[in-house]
Structure 1
Amino acid sequence: MVLDVDFVRSQFPAFKSAGLAGQAFFENAGGSYTCGAVIDRLTRFYTDRKVQPYAPYEASALAGAEMDEARARLAAMMGVEADEVFFGPSTSANTYVLAQALRRLITDTGGAVVVTNQDHEANSGVWRRLAEDGVEVREWKVDPQTGHLDLGALQPLLADGAVRMVCFPHCSNVVAELNPVAEICAMARAAGAFTCVDGVSYAPHGFPDMTALGADIYLFSAYKTYGPHQGIMVMRRAVGAALPAQCHYFNADTLYKRFTPAGPDHAQVAACAGMADYIDALYAHHIPGGTAGPLARNNAVHDLMRAHEVRLLQPLLDHLAARNDLRLIGPRDAGRRAPTVAVALDRAAEPVAAELAKHGIMAGGGDFYAVRPLQAMGVDVAQGVLRLSFVHYTTEAEVTRLVAALDAVL
């Protein structure tokens, strides 16, 4: 079965926008277009339901019900319970709250935390700063040539049983290699450690199946998964109970409130149900009459997305690898990575992105908050990298156009 890209694009108002006409979007890793189902729900909430939720009058009851719907449907898609899904203002904020909880746990019981230098700073810096409070921070380092995280280098960090949390990315926002999440989580679990997986750069290519991954905590950003600007965190019940609550004391007995210090954005939480609407619409279009449950529907759509992305990505990787005026970061095999392609050039990247814009290519240049992995691989951070990222609504014609524009500009 092949993804129907025309149908996909019909679900996104951006492709009908006069302001975006004639441009091809290749900075999706910074934030995707928003699907129509999310926009419709957000508009309806602000128009009809923008009141304090969960009160006994109709508008309030509808507001609360839609917020509950978002949590329940996203949880079902990912194979977890509804109260294991948390909403926060951003993934960076959610990770900060987690780090404060772990700091208290380790202060009370002792232990260490493992971080990588492959991560975006959001899932690295907050954990590293725990060292200021006496927490031992151990670094799992990438291969300086490839950016790869070797499992053999993780084992010694876990050997003494002192690690309480292993923090790593599903894939990096510049290296883009798909890390073996299930295997890493199994290693950590065997050593008595919890796992915190930064899924921000992977979730746009398919929402996670939490049972298959085996992660204790999985974080991603709704604004990169076709939704509103919210951070979404999945936390399994065992780790949620073990970590000290970071909420108002009277909310501590409700799992999904334990790590939300302030009230969430009601409208944006409600609008997140539109992401589930979108996944269901893709499933219904491609598998008419299908009767699979939410998790199986999500996994089927994930596979459609990934197959399309891999097919478009390989020719781009091959073209870039054949050039001698750039360094392609990460694997050259499309099946081993996300379609987030960073290249180090023989010049500063940001002016190149500006030149690509003249050709109707929307891309970015810079460090993308991935200073540590770039430095580890010997990339000049002052020059940065050119990042070309796409998702399943990208077309083959747009990738062809990107290659032509790169040839013209470089």
Structure 2
Amino acid sequence: MDVTKARSQYPILTGPEPFVPKNVVSRVVDYLLNTNVQMGADYPVSQVATRRVMVEGPTAAKILFNADSADEIVLGQSSTLNIENLAHGLSTDVKTGDEIIITGEHEANGGPWKHLAARTGATLKTWPHRQVDPANPYALALVIDDLLPLITSKTRLIAFTATSNILGSVVPVADVVRAIRAKAAEVGAAKVEVCVDAVAYAPHKRIDVKAWDVDYCVFSAYKVYSAHVSALYVRKAALSGSVSSVVHHFLNVPEVAYKLMPGGPGYEAVYALTGIIPYLLSLTLEGEKLLGETSLLHDPGADSMPLLTNPSMPAVLDGVWSAIAAHELTLMAPLLSFLTHPDQWARGVRIAGDGGAFLDGGNNAVSAPFQNHVAGRAPTVSFVMVESSNGKPRLRSKEIVEYFDKRGKIGIRYGHFYAYTLVSQLSPLKDPADGVVRISLVHYNTVEEVERIIEGLKEVLA
């Protein structure tokens, strides 16, 4: 992967969130300057706007999900709102006594289901995290064996994350769903649907809703280097058999995703989705070759459909994601090596989640206690501070982040990051407002930048 080329797309490279590459920004600008009109009219500019918003944007999202059809794509202002609208769409299909299972992860895939349970009289259950490393009470993971006993003949929906935005653990989604389907059949559950939050997964790995066999899946485009818009996949069978319309009563939307779009996102943000795939392709030689057949990286007004419908593209994108994963491993290795060193353990540093196996020459992002429970690790690294064994005072998460803020040039954060339930249950009990220190790395970061982070940590922990 060409990190230098990736960085050339970003005018500024500081802060905790992924930035937006120039070719995505140019699409936002081009839409507002040249096609910011009402859709559905017969005049030429409106026809272009309609194609961009109703065809190109959803098709780009379809590819990022590896869905069958753009008709299965809902576009909304945020992932929280998309799932809230989905939950409202299920209000007539979920009955009193049905059971919904959630986790303590990001509230976007929890709160809407709590609201649905309250509206319908459904029973809410929680798939708890388990401590999988006896040495570290913060080494938590979602374990399939803890989910299966919760599934009964009344189970209607199960919602969980593909990657924890606190722990960084990659959940083996396909394995979890396979186990859910088998258990549901065993106990005689008539209809069990699965909703996966892929927001923290999407910047690092390829989503595949078909391989996962999920009914609903969501990601936020700003996490994959685009504008602030969310894409929700809804399986075709669910559109026709589970979800009721939440849009205006006079609109005829029986089996299309539009039934969950009661006022969508900004049209320019939808069109910006078409810039993600050209950007990703530009990161590898094979992708650049495919991209070279178009003008999409340099012409924000070019029709993206020839590229988006190119049969070679899915395989090329797989190669891009593999290159991203390999590079991100080189970023995680020095950071996790430092944070899990015995000196930092004595200082009171505890990784939330998996600390990997990088000490003593190791090069594995998944340590032995986690290997049977996770499918990898994202370079989202969180830690807490406990009382030290070397006589130094315990630091609050806020103090560490404030030190970096004053030091400048590096953006890290602290808090619960909307995974309030998970953070509030960290034991020994943490103040959710102070929460964890989180360091979020992505593919355009460099090892040199990680070394600067480590230098800052050495200073503040000294």
Q: Same fold (TM over 0.5)?
A: yes
Task: Give the secondary-structure state (helix, strand or coil) at the position aligned to 1:177.
Answer: coil
Give the gaps of 5 or more residues in structure 2.
132-136, 185-190, 292-309, 357-364, 367-375, 386-393
- Alpha-carbon RMSD: 1.9
Task: Give the secondary-structure state (helix, strand or coil) at the position aligned to 1:132.
Answer: helix
One-letter amino acid of the counterpart of residue 348, structure 1: R
Residue 77 to residue 140, structure 1, CA distance change in 2 (3 Å) = closer
Distance in structure 1 (CA, Å) of the matches to 2:192 and 2:100: 9
Give the C-alpha shift of residue 263 in structure 1.
3.6
1:298 to 317, 328, 331: 317
Contact 2:161 2:196 in 1 (8 A): yes
One-letter amino acid of the counterpart of residue 406, structure 2: K
Q: Does 1:388 align with 2:407?
A: no
Map 1:233-252 → 2, pairs under 5 A: 233-241=232-240, 242-249=242-249, 250-252=251-253
Contact 2:162 2:198 in 1 (8 A): yes
Q: Does 1:337 align with 2:386?
A: no
Distance in structure 2 (CA, Å) of the matches to 1:125 and 1:71: 26
Structure showing greater Rg: 2
Equivalent residue pairs, number: 393
Distance in structure 1 (CA, Å) of the matches to 2:38 and 2:209: 32
Contact 1:142 1:376 in 2 (8 A): no
Listed one character per residue, the Cα deviations across residues 88-107 of structure 1 (whole Å, up to 9, x for unaligned) are 01001011112222332113
Task: Give the secondary-structure state (helix, strand or coil) at the position aligned to 2:459.
Answer: helix
2:400 to 352, 374, 380: 352
Listed one character per residue, the Cα deviations across residues 311-356 of structure 1 (whole Å, up to 9, x for unaligned) are 2102211210121222111112225211111111233212321211
Contact 1:320 1:328 in 2 (8 A): yes
Question: What residue is the counterpart of 1:309 in the other structure?
Answer: 328
Q: Does 1:34 align with 2:27?
A: no
Give the C-alpha shift of residue 174 in structure 1.
0.5
Question: What residue is the counterpart of 1:377 in the other structure?
Answer: 426
Q: Does 1:98 align with 2:57?
A: no
Distance in structure 1 (CA, Å) of the matches to 2:396 and 2:46: 52
Give the C-alpha shift of residue 275 in structure 1.
0.9
Question: What residue is the counterpart of 2:373 in the other structure?
Answer: none
Give the C-alpha shift of residue 295 in structure 1.
2.0
Q: Does 1:78 align with 2:77?
A: no
Task: Give the secondary-structure state (helix, strand or coil) at the position aligned to 2:169.
Answer: coil
Listed one character per residue, the Cα deviations across residues 183-238 of structure 1 (whole Å, up to 9, x for unaligned) are 11122333141110011111011341222222221111111110001111111111
Greater relative contact order (Cα 8 A, min sep 6): structure 1 or 2? 1
Give the C-alpha shift of residue 71 in structure 1.
1.1
Task: Give the secondary-structure state (helix, strand or coil) at the position aligned to 2:384.
Answer: strand
Residue 48 to residue 254, structure 1, CA distance change in 2 (3 Å) = farther
Task: Give the secondary-structure state (helix, strand or coil) at the position aligned to 1:282.
Answer: coil
Mean alpha-carbon deviation: is it higher for 34-43 or for 200-209?
Answer: 200-209
Contact 1:103 1:135 in 2 (8 A): no
Question: What residue is the counterpart of 1:21 in the other structure?
Answer: none
Task: Give the secondary-structure state (helix, strand or coil) at the position aligned to 1:258.
Answer: helix
Question: What residue is the counterpart of 1:164 in the other structure?
Answer: 156
Give the C-alpha shift of residue 289 in structure 1.
5.8
Question: What residue is the counterpart of 1:141 in the other structure?
Answer: 128
Distance in structure 1 (CA, Å) of the matches to 2:117 and 2:63: 37
Give the C-alpha shift of residue 405 in structure 1.
0.7
Mean alpha-carbon deviation: is it higher for 376-385 or for 260-269?
Answer: 376-385
Distance in structure 2 (CA, Å) of the matches to 1:186 and 1:382: 36
Map 1:8-47 → 2, pairs under 5 A: 8-15=6-13, 24-25=14-15, 27-28=16-17, 32-47=18-33
One-letter amino acid of the counterpart of residue 243, structure 2: L
Give the C-alpha shift of residue 177 in structure 1.
0.8
Task: Give the secondary-structure state (helix, strand or coil) at the position aligned to 1:138.
Answer: strand
Mean alpha-carbon deviation: is it higher for 377-386 or for 3-12?
Answer: 377-386
Distance in structure 1 (CA, Å) of the matches to 2:410 and 2:339: 16
Q: Does 1:262 align with 2:263?
A: yes
Contact 2:281 2:288 in 1 (8 A): no
Provide the identity percentage: 31
Runs of 4+, deviation exceeding 3 Å: 283-292
2:143 to 140, 145, 150: 150
Residue 369 to residue 111, structure 1, CA distance change in 2 (3 Å) = same
Question: What residue is the counterpart of 1:230 in the other structure?
Answer: 229
1:187 to 175, 179, 184: 179
One-letter amino acid of the counterpart of residue 281, structure 2: D
One-letter amino acid of the counterpart of residue 214, structure 1: D
Contact 2:215 2:235 in 1 (8 A): yes
Question: What residue is the counterpart of 1:20 in the other structure?
Answer: none
Give the C-alpha shift of residue 156 in structure 1.
1.1
TM-score by length of 1: 0.91
Task: Give the secondary-structure state (helix, strand or coil) at the position aligned to 1:368.
Answer: coil
Counting helix residues as a fraction of each chain, which structure ranks higher?
Answer: 1
One-letter amino acid of the counterpart of residue 344, structure 1: V
Residue 180 to residue 261, structure 1, CA distance change in 2 (3 Å) = same
One-letter amino acid of the counterpart of residue 147, structure 1: L
Mean alpha-carbon deviation: is it higher for 174-183 or for 251-260?
Answer: 251-260
1:113 to 95, 100, 110: 100
1:173 to 149, 158, 165: 165
Q: Does 1:405 align with 2:456?
A: yes
Give the C-alpha shift of residue 285 in structure 1.
5.7
